[in-house]
Amino acid sequence: QVQLVESGGGVVQPGRSLRLSCAASGFTFSNSAMHWVRQAPGKGLEWVAVISYDGTNKYYADSVKGRFTFSRDNIKNTLYLQMNSLRREDTAVYYCVREGGSYFTRLDYWGQGTLVTVSS
């Protein structure tokens, strides 16, 4: 069965960096575009970024553009989200999500999420 397992969350000071990982299994990882979606405490879902199946195309929300970098390793079946210049408003649970169709048509499998807290 499809499994997405995020890791790397934690408490980090404003302005510092953090890298999230997402280990995928149970499907042909190299065939699927993948997303990061976040949810601030008590708030709604916010799309963060998407990466194409081969890593050549990446799109970002305006709120993270220039600070976050999305990458993937199709040998290790792993996604990475490098988050730099973190702000308090980046505090959220970050979900790794599989795209089951074309971009943003069907987010069909979600990880359990990893909590990032930006605080001094």
Partner 1 sequence: QSALTQPASVSGSPGQSITISCTGTSSDVGGYNYVSWYQQHSDTAPKLIIYDVTNRPSGVSNRFSGSKSGNTASLTISGLQAEDEADYYCASKTSSTTLGVFGTGTRVTVL
Task: By CB under 8 A, name the binding residues for partner 1.
Answer: 37, 44-47, 50, 59-62, 95, 100-101, 103-108, 110-113
Give least dist CB 106 to partner 1, A. 4
- Residue among 13 and 42 whose Cβ is closer to partner 1: 42
Q: How far, CA to CA in Å, does 57 sit from each of 18, 49, 51, 53, 113? A: 22, 11, 6, 8, 23
Kindly tell me which of 80 and 110 has the beta carbon lying closer to partner 1.
110
Distance CA 120, CA 111 (A): 28
Q: Residue 6 or residue 29: which is nearer to partner 1 going by CB?
A: 6
- Report phi then psi at 31, rounded to 5: -100, -5
> Closest approach of Cβ 16 to partner 1, in Å?
26
